[in-house]
Structure 1
Amino acid sequence: MYTRKKIQEEVPEVNTKIWSCESDDCNGWMRANFTFDEAPTCLICGSSMQSGEKMLPTLANSAVRS
Structure 2
Amino acid sequence: MAYFNNKKEPVPEVETMIWSCTNDSCPGWMRESFSFESEPSCPLCHSEMKKEEKVLPKID
Normalising by structure 2, what TM-score? 0.90
The aligned amino acid for 2:22 is E
Count of aligned pairs between the two proteins = 59
The aligned amino acid for 2:35 is T
C-alpha root-mean-square deviation of aligned residues, in Å?
Answer: 1.4
**Residue in 2 aligned with 1:49?**
49
Q: Highest relative contact order (Cα 8 Å, sep 6+), 1 or 2?
A: 2
Identical amino acids, percent of aligned pairs: 46
Counterparts in 2 of 1:5 and 1:14: CA distance versus 1, 3 Å: same
Structure 2, gaps ≥5 residues long: none
**Residue in 2 aligned with 1:26?**
26
Structure 1, gaps ≥5 residues long: 61-66
